[in-house]
């Protein structure tokens, strides 16, 4: 550990500047995107990418922090879509007024998440995953069999008489607002007491309870936040594509895609879920648009292949793996962290609280 | 006699195995008490029952004049009884400091939902947490993931985060097990210091006889889930029943695990 104190000090000072600048640039690019690429075929990629950024980040708030892998997010996605469709049909709401139903769709997601969570969160690990899948199938069956859901033909959304050339743009910005809001919530959760409790539950739930963490309440809160977001973006998706059927609203591939996105980008990290969604979703859309792929399910096989490669060679995802690589390059020849072998009172300089704090945040 | 922590006739069976069979112990306020006995004599089960991780089949646990039998672990912790585990149970993917804050957050409940998302609500714990890390001697590792600490440092971290809650009684399950001799002395010093300066009461399970005899003022011997004898180290060391039950059984080899 012979690094000069000046270098050690300069890094944490510059990091927020780079991060802030990068964030501003990203937002600027995202806002300008539909103005620069006005072709609806291109903006369509943007809308779907942002829908999946929202869904994957929403999944990550619960599953990434607690380690409970939910494969039942489609329950919320489909319920949000159906809530909006049923309400618009039964209350004769048309045009842009339909967007006023978004809070209702989100409330339906929250209302479903509470009993769903109370049942599913009693069990852990694999059992939890199985229960979320069971809930998923219950909801898909209900959508097929109730009369008010339109059965197997599903629901159509009210007609929007927007010009075809710029039809996608408002949806793009709505999806962008959802994505930005979800990332902001994920960030707030991550740095809060609440987020710390979630991550303690991930590491050792019983021990966390022993230290006074009210595990059920904390897990359920995260699950409800995640479900609310997913239901909201599900409603946006429904109005965008004008149609929901039981097998598209409650789609098992939706859940697997979210998990793949999170694992590819970096399981548990905020930017990981975003990056994964930005890679996977446009890739899937592009593959499906290729004549060679459109007939069968070759794109799904390819995604499965990507998943295998990620799990085998990069089990922690792009962000953590490349983060480690950067740290290793930057600290080449030096120990990345203080070797944790010596014991007893420290002889060197004690860390200041601020340096400790910045080191603890991710 | 002012026993701060006492158990009365605890019984606990796992299937056909009688882990506790009428264990009655008493820990005086302000002392360092030891609990010894052969492997499988029910020491850890007794800890688990006292701290709420197991429910006894019969018997009672008293903390001062309050019955805490069957209380949930977090309630026992909040009441003022902290414990460490034989195999340390830290949060490996949280930083050392975050480990400390998890223990601290149990102390003050957030008043409303919004304060859950605030950071300021618990920043004041940060300083206290760092002080405690300094006390046990691992403060310079505050920013690293707890999973990269050595085994002995994990024991120190566990001790530190039990201290966050400022408990009246601390139960230590094999604090010296698998730890190098320098660190054993370091841990013993910290226990003595806490006991002398803050009057913290300790009950510790340990196989290292030197450690127990040097530290504890009262020692209770457990055998087959029942307390055999209890008293000062010198009395216990020479007690015939103890020699038969425990020390005599494996005199050649003290297995420190």
pLDDT digits (tens, 9 = 90+) for B146-188: 888 888 888 888 888 888 878 888 888 888 887 888 888 888 8
The residues in B 183-242 lying below 8 A from A, measured between CB atoms, are 183, 186
For residue range A158-191, list pLDDT tens digits in order.
877 788 777 888 889 999 999 999 999 999 888 8
CB contacts < 8 Å between A and B, how many?
140
Q: Is B18 helix (H, G, I), strand (E, B) or coil?
A: strand
Q: Nearest Cβ partner of A209 from B73, B90, B118?
A: B73
Q: Tell me how far apart the alpha carbons of residues A46 and A167 are, in angstroms, rounded to a whole number.
A: 13
Residue A362: is its pLDDT beyond 80?
Answer: no
Number of domains in chain B: 1
Residue holding tokens 């002080």? B131
B170: which residues sit within 8 A by CB, 6+ positions away?
Answer: B81, B82, B83, B84, B159, B162, B163, B194, B200, B201, B202, B203
Structure tokens at A19: 């991060």
Q: Tell me how far apart the alpha carbons of residues B132 and B190 are, in angstroms, rounded to a whole number.
A: 11
Cβ A211–B161 below 8 Å, yes or no? yes
B105 in a domain, yes or no? Answer: yes
Q: Which of A268, A270, A181 is nearest to A229 (CA)?
A: A181
In this prediction, residue A91 carries a pLDDT of 86
Cα angle for residues B111, B117, B122 (degrees, 5° grid): 65
On the 0-12 / 13-18 / 19+ scale of CB atoms within 10 A, A254 is buried
Q: Please compute Rg for chain B using Cα positions.
A: 18
According to the 3-state scheme, what is the secondary structure of B182-225?
HHHHHHHHHHHHHHHHHCCEEEEECCCHHHHHHHCCEEEEEECC
Q: Tell me how far apart the alpha carbons of residues B29 and A176 are, in angstroms, rounded to a whole number.
A: 61
Q: Tell me how far apart the alpha carbons of residues A352 and B37 are, in angstroms, rounded to a whole number.
A: 44
The residues in B 6-25 lying below 8 A from A, measured between CB atoms, are none
Q: Tell me how far apart the alpha carbons of residues A278 and A40 are, in angstroms, rounded to a whole number.
A: 18
In this prediction, residue B74 carries a pLDDT of 80
Q: Nearest Cβ partner of A343 from B90, B119, B183?
A: B183
Q: How far is residue A116 CA from its own chain's centroid?
A: 19
State whether residue B148 sits within 8 Å of chain A by CB. yes
The range of the structural domain enclosing residue B202 comes to 3-247
B253 in a domain, yes or no? Answer: no
State whether residue B149 sits within 8 Å of chain A by CB. yes
User: A290: which DSSP letter?
Assistant: S
User: A152: which DSSP letter?
Assistant: G
The residues in B 161-180 lying below 8 A from A, measured between CB atoms, are 161, 165
A106: which residues sit within 8 A by CB, 6+ positions away?
Answer: A80, A228, A229, A231, A232, A235
A81: which residues sit within 8 A by CB, 6+ positions away?
Answer: A105, A155, A234, A235, A237, A238, A244, A249
B215 in a domain, yes or no? Answer: yes
Span A217-235, mean pLDDT? 93
Instruction: Give the number of other CB atoms < 10 A from CB of residue B240.
Output: 9
**Whole-angstrom distance between the N-terminal and C-terminal Cα of chain A?**
23
Span A52-72, mean pLDDT? 91
Q: Is A168 helix (H, G, I), strand (E, B) or coil?
A: helix
Poorest-pLDDT segment among A110-119, A312-321, A338-347: A338-347
Cβ B118–A348 below 8 Å, yes or no? no
Per-residue confidence at A341, pLDDT binned at 50, 70, 90?
Answer: very low
Per-residue confidence at A352, pLDDT binned at 50, 70, 90?
Answer: very low
B75 in a domain, yes or no? Answer: yes
For residue range B200-214, list pLDDT tens digits in order.
888 988 888 888 888
B257 in a domain, yes or no? Answer: no
Q: Tell me how far apart the alpha carbons of residues B95 and B195 are, in angstroms, rounded to a whole number.
A: 28
Q: Which residue has the higher pLDDT, B16 or A49?
A: A49
Structure tokens at B207: 């196989």
B255 in a domain, yes or no? Answer: no
In this prediction, residue B29 carries a pLDDT of 84
Site from B143, B152, B163 to mutate, A interface, most A CB atoms within 10 angstroms? B143
Q: Tell me how far apart the alpha carbons of residues B56 and B75 are, in angstroms, rounded to a whole number.
A: 16
The answer to whether A200 and B94 are in contact (CB under 8 A) is: yes
Residues of chain B under the 50 pLDDT cut:
251-257
The residues in B 88-117 lying below 8 A from A, measured between CB atoms, are 89-95, 97-98, 101-103, 105-107, 110, 115-117
Q: Tell me how far apart the alpha carbons of residues A79 and A70 are, in angstroms, rounded to a whole number.
A: 16
Task: Identify the CATH class of A34-330.
Answer: mainly alpha
Parallel/antiparallel/unpaired status of strands B17-23 and B169-173: unpaired
Per-residue confidence at A81, pLDDT binned at 50, 70, 90?
Answer: very high
In this prediction, residue A344 carries a pLDDT of 40
Structure tokens at A7: 């270098």
Contacts of B98 in chain A (CB under 8 A): 196, 199-200, 360
For residue range A247-256, list pLDDT tens digits in order.
888 988 888 8
Residue A11: is its pLDDT beyond 60?
Answer: no
pTM confidence score: 0.77
In this prediction, residue A324 carries a pLDDT of 75
In this prediction, residue A333 carries a pLDDT of 54
Per-residue confidence at A331, pLDDT binned at 50, 70, 90?
Answer: low
- Looking at residue B170, which CATH number applies to its domain? 3.40.50.300
For residue range A101-134, list pLDDT tens digits in order.
889 999 999 999 999 889 888 888 888 999 999 9
In this prediction, residue A356 carries a pLDDT of 37
On the 0-12 / 13-18 / 19+ scale of CB atoms within 10 A, A290 is exposed
In this prediction, residue A176 carries a pLDDT of 93
Cβ B102–A189 below 8 Å, yes or no? no
Residue A6: is its pLDDT beyond 80?
Answer: no
Cα angle for residues A211, A212, A213 (degrees, 5° grid): 105
């Amino acid at each position: 550990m012979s690094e000069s104190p000046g270098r050690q000090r300069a890094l944490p000072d510059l990091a927020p500047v780079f991060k802030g600048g990068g964030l501003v640039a990203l937002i600027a690019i995202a806002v300008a995107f539909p103005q620069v690429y006005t072709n609806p075929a291109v903006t369509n990629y943007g809308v779907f990418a942002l829908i999946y950024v929202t869904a994957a980040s929403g999944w990550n708030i619960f599953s990434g922090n607690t380690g409970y892998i939910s494969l039942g997010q489609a329950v919320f996605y489909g319920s949000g879509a159906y809530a909006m469709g049923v309400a618009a049909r039964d209350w004769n709401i048309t045009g842009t007024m339909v967007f006023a139903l978004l809070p209702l769709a989100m409330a339906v997601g929250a209302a479903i998440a509470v009993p769903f969570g109370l049942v599913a969160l009693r069990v852990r690990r694999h059992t939890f995953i199985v229960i979320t899948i069971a809930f998923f199938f219950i909801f898909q069956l209900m959508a097929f069999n109730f009369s008010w859901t339109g059965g197997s033909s599903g629901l159509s959304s009210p007609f929007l008489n927007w010009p075809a050339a710029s039809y996608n743009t408002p949806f793009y910005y709505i999806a962008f607002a959802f994505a930005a809001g979800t990332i902001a919530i994920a960030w707030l959760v991550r740095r809060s007491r609440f987020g710390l409790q979630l991550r303690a539950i991930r590491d050792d739930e019983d021990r966390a309870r022993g230290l006074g963490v009210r595990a059920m309440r904390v897990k359920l809160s995260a699950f409800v936040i995640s479900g609310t977001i997913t239901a909201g973006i599900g409603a946006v998706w429904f109005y965008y594509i004008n149609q929901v059927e039981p097998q598209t609203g409650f789609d098992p591939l939706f859940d697997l895609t979210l998990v793949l996105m999170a694992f590819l980008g970096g399981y548990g990290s905020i930017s990981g879920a975003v990056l994964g969604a930005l890679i996977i979703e446009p890739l899937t859309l592009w593959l499906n648009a290729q004549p060679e792929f459109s007939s069968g399910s070759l794109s799904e096989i390819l995604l499965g292949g990507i998943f295998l490669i990620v799990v085998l060679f990069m089990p922690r995802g792009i962000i953590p793996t490349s983060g480690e690589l950067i740290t290793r390059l930057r600290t080449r020849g030096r120990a990345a962290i203080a070797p944790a072998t010596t014991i007893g009172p420290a002889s060197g300089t004690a860390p200041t609280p601020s340096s400790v704090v910045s080191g603890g945040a991710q | 006699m002012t026993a701060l922590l006492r158990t009365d006739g605890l019984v606990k069976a796992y299937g056909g195995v009688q882990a506790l069979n009428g264990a009655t112990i008493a820990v005086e306020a302000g002392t360092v008490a030891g609990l010894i006995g052969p492997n499988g004599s029910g020491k850890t089960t007794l800890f688990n029952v006292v701290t709420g991780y197991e429910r006894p089949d019969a018997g009672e646990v008293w903390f001062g004049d309050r019955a805490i039998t069957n209380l949930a672990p977090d309630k026992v912790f909040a009441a003022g009884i902290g414990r460490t585990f034989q195999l340390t149970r830290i949060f490996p993917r949280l930083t050392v400091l975050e480990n400390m804050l998890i223990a601290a957050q149990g102390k003050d409940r957030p008043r409303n939902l919004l304060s859950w998302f605030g950071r300021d609500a618990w920043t004041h714990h940060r300083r206290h947490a760092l002080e405690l890390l300094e006390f046990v001697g691992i403060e310079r590792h505050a920013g690293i993931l707890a999973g990269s600490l050595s085994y002995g440092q994990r024991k120190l971290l566990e001790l530190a985060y039990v201290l966050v809650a400022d408990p009246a009684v601390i139960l230590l399950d094999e604090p010296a097990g698998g730890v190098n001799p320098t660190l054993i002395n370091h841990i013993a010093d910290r226990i003595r210091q806490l006991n002398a300066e803050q009057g913290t009461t300790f009950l510790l399970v340990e196989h290292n006889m030197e450690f127990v005899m040097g530290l504890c003022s009262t020692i209770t011997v457990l055998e087959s889930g029942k307390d055999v004898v209890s008293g000062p180290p010198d009395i216990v060391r020479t007690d015939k029943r103890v020699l038969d039950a425990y020390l005599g059984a494996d005199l050649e080899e003290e297995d420190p695990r």
